[in-house]
Amino acid sequence: MDYEVRVEGLDFSYGSKSILKDINLSMKTGSFISIIGPNGSGKSTFLRNLSRYLKPQKGIIMLGNDDIRKLSQKEISKKVSVVPQNILMEFDYKVKDMVLMGRYPYVKRMKGETAEDIKIAERSMKYTNTLEFSNRHFSELSGGEKQRVILAQALAQQPRVLLMDEPISHLDLQYQVEILDLVKKMTLEEGLTSIAVLHDLNMASAYSDYIIMLKEGKVFCKGEPKEVLTVENIAQTFNTNVSISKNPITGKPYVYPISTISKKKRNFRVHIICGGGTGVKLIQELAASGFDISTGVLNIGDSDWAISKEYELDVAEETPFMDISQQAYDKNLELALAAKALVLLPIYFSRANIKNIKLLMDDRLDDKTIYILENGSFAQRDYTNGEAMSIYNMLIEKPNVIQIKEGQLKEILVKADEKDE
Partner 1 sequence: MNKKNIKRFISINLLILFFAICFFISVGIGAVDIPLGEIVKIIFLGENTDNRVILMDIRLPRVLIAAVLGAGLSAVGGVMQGIFKNPLVDSYTLGMSSGAAFGAVISIVTGIGVFGYATTGTFAFLGAVSTLFFVYYLSKTKNRVSINSLLLSGVAVSYFLSSVISFMMMLFNNKIEHIVFWTMGSLSSSTWQKFIFSTCLVIPGVLLLNFFARELNIMSLGEESAHYIGVDVERLKYMLLAICSLIVGAVVSTGGTIGFLGLVAPHIVRLIWGSDYRRLIPYSAIIGASILMLSDTLGRVIIQPAEIPVGVMTSVLGGPFFVFLLRKQKSKGA
Shortest distance, position 81 Cβ to partner 1, whole Å: 7
Between 64 and 84, whose beta carbon lies closer to partner 1?
A: 84
Shortest distance, position 121 Cβ to partner 1, whole Å: 13
Shortest distance, position 150 Cβ to partner 1, whole Å: 9
Shortest distance, position 54 Cβ to partner 1, whole Å: 10
**What DSSP element (H or E) covers 98?**
helix 95-101
b/e burial code for range 163-187 (CB count within 10 A of at least 16 → b): bbbbbbeebeeebbbbbbebbbebb
Rule CB under 8 A: is residue 69 a binding residue for partner 1?
no
Contact 275, 347 (CB under 8 A): yes
Binding mask 93-112 for partner 1 (x = CB under 8 A): xx--xx--xx-xx-x-x---
Rule CB under 8 A: is residue 90 a binding residue for partner 1?
yes
Give the range of 71-79, 115-123, 225-233, 367-375 binding partner 1 by CB under 8 A: 71-79
Q: From the CB of residue 1, how many other CB atoms can be counted at a distance below 10 Å? A: 5
Residue 170 DSSP one-character state: T
Shortest distance, position 223 Cβ to partner 1, whole Å: 29
Which of 92, 132, 312, 362 binds partner 1 (CB under 8 A)? It is 92
Q: State phi, psi for 235 to the nearest 5 degrees.
A: -60, -40
Q: Which residues lie across from 378 on neighbouring strands? A: none
Between 94 and 269, whose beta carbon lies closer to partner 1?
A: 94
Rule CB under 8 A: is residue 76 a binding residue for partner 1?
yes
Pick from 85, 45, 225, 203: nearest CA to 213: 225
Amino acid identity for residue 381 in this structure: R
Give the range of 91-99, 250-258, 288-296, 343-351 binding partner 1 by CB under 8 A: 91-99
Shortest distance, position 83 Cβ to partner 1, whole Å: 9
Rule CB under 8 A: is residue 77 a binding residue for partner 1?
yes
Rule CB under 8 A: is residue 142 a binding residue for partner 1?
no
b/e burial code for range 216-251 (CB count within 10 A of at least 16 → b): ebebbbbeebeebbbbebbeebbebbbbbeeeeeee
> How far apart (Å, rounded) are the C-alpha atoms in residues 175 and 145?
8
Site for partner 1 in 37-56 (CB under 8 A): 51, 53
> How far apart (Å, rounded) are the C-alpha atoms in residues 22 and 359?
54
Give the side-chain half-sphere CA count within 13 A for 315.
Answer: 23
Rule CB under 8 A: is residue 421 a binding residue for partner 1?
no
Q: Which residues lie across from 6 on neighbouring strands? A: 26, 62
Which of 59, 84, 143, 276 binds partner 1 (CB under 8 A)? It is 84
Rule CB under 8 A: is residue 140 a binding residue for partner 1?
no
Give the range of 68-76, 168-176, 177-185, 357-365 binding partner 1 by CB under 8 A: 68-76
- Angle at which helix 280-288 crosses helix 303-310, to 10 degrees, equals 20
Rule CB under 8 A: is residue 136 a binding residue for partner 1?
no
Rule CB under 8 A: is residue 80 a binding residue for partner 1?
yes
Give residues in contact with partner 1 (CB under 8 A).
14-15, 51, 53, 73-74, 76-78, 80-82, 84, 87-94, 97-98, 101-102, 104-105, 107, 109, 153, 157
